[in-house]
Structure 1
């Protein structure tokens, strides 16, 4: 772009003026950065922060024959399917943002959630089988029969305890320790520690991956939330509220 020219010749700028303008520019940069950070925080604000996991004693959990895990109160008017991989970063982010809102809707009897766990990120874990072992651990805890215990375990496993892709993951004993803190009994801890469900978890996760692949037209990806056959846009911040009105 050409410069606008005139006969005016500016005087040399003093060092004091240079420093002053530099300070102004730096201040503007700081303001812009802070605004960007605050905007980002607003975009991913946690819903119902402080509620925690589902804790009503009336919440049930059932390990279904196909390996899916149904969490909620009998007679809830809405049931959704949530597809997740235990090491999936997007799944962890969704649980971090919406997990407490989902938990409250479960406690209120407005929502049942069927967790359908997959394992296609096994190779991105250091052990090369963490996703499968994570599915197995979830199934062990669900088989224990306590809805609040399962909800707390699931929350921890997908948020604060979720391994990062390519990083160190949890051993079976470490997964059992997460279950212990959630309140699981010794029988459940043994199920996790010994890997009792790893083989069946691998098979059920493969079948669930195939089902997700079919539902998404050959492009299985997590997280994915379905209301019946309708895929929910989880980028809509109000999606949980909309489903349970």
Structure 2
């Protein structure tokens, strides 16, 4: 076995180990009785912008870690199926795929990032192979959980505009790969626009839409609708029931993704 082959094999093993660890982390967080581990249940938790935990005081440098930073671009799997925006939902994949899933997530949600790390590559591969159609819902649930507030909504709005430019998946993956810390500074509109440019978005409508908050009102109204949709509510323990992120549904039913084989099983059942 040559040196290049050994290096590639080692890299694949590391990626597999990282994905396995991510899946275990998602399952652990999802099973926790603490609803904050699985997102914010609307009306149940008040997010404080600056807190002191165990005597650790955030410094200004830590609070503003994203300021002036360029958002690195992430690579996503190539797919022959074009992305398309249907209202506030971005659809990717083969319209005739045997399985369609809906994923509800917030760009600032830590468990959504864990979900992306654990299953994002697998989902994109199955989309590219024509086995899966993905419907992504950007839900601005944590609007007040950044300092200053608003990053969750700005990112959701920008991602819809990126979808119109055919760059949604790369934009989406870049934001999760470089997720700001909840409670601290997110990325500014200027930084989101720069990310779009780095991904090849040249249409001035993208920057104009980011700056104007083109989809802000619609996203806010949709967040309210989703939070009131009892079919999307889950029991997080200790009497806490409501909508949390991430949430995955298939044929209108919530999918339990604490089972690491959940996606393979969905596709296998659909094809049997």
Q: Calculate the TM-score normalised by the size of structure 1.
A: 0.72
Partner of 2:264: 241
- The more displaced of 91-100 and 173-182 is 173-182
Out of 83, 86, 104, the residue aligned to residue 61 of structure 1 is 83
Partner of 1:229: 252
SS state at 2:228 partner: helix
Q: Structure 1: 5+ residue runs without aligned partners? A: 1-39
After superposition, the C-alpha distances for 1:100-139 in whole angstroms (9 at most, x for unaligned) are: 1111101111111111121221111112111111111111
After superposition, the C-alpha distances for 1:173-224 in whole angstroms (9 at most, x for unaligned) are: 111222222332333233224422222322233323333x542155111111
Partner of 2:198: 181
Q: Hey, what's the Cα distance between the residues in 1 that align with 2:135 and 2:105?
A: 11
Partner of 2:32: none
Partner of 2:30: none
Partner of 2:44: none
RMSD of aligned C-alpha atoms?
2.4
Asked if structure 2 preserves the Cα contact closer than 8 Å seen for 1:87 and 1:121, the reply is: yes
User: Residues 41 and 115 (structure 1 numbering): CA distance in 2 closer, same or farther, change over 3 Å?
Assistant: closer
SS state at 2:92 partner: strand
Q: Which has the larger radius of gyration?
A: 1
After superposition, the C-alpha distances for 1:51-71 in whole angstroms (9 at most, x for unaligned) are: 952322x22222223x12111
Partner of 1:23: none
Residue-pair matches, total: 196
Asked if structure 1 preserves the Cα contact closer than 8 Å seen for 2:19 and 2:118, the reply is: no
Out of 171, 174, 181, the residue aligned to residue 153 of structure 1 is 171
User: Residues 216 and 45 (structure 1 numbering): CA distance in 2 closer, same or farther, change over 3 Å?
Assistant: closer
Bigger relative contact order, structure 1 or 2, given CA contacts below 8 A and separation 6+? 2
Q: Structure 2: 5+ residue runs without aligned partners? A: 1-16, 24-73, 235-240
- The more displaced of 91-100 and 171-180 is 171-180
SS state at 1:44 partner: helix
SS state at 1:207 partner: helix
Partner of 1:44: 21
Partner of 2:209: 191
- The more displaced of 227-236 and 99-108 is 227-236
User: Residues 127 and 108 (structure 1 numbering): CA distance in 2 closer, same or farther, change over 3 Å?
Assistant: same
User: Where does structure 1 differ by over 6 angstroms across 4 or more consecutive aligned residues?
Assistant: none
Partner of 1:112: 133
Q: Hey, what's the Cα distance between the residues in 2 that align with 1:208 and 1:139?
A: 18
After superposition, the C-alpha distances for 1:118-167 in whole angstroms (9 at most, x for unaligned) are: 122111111211111111111111122x2xx211111111222x211111
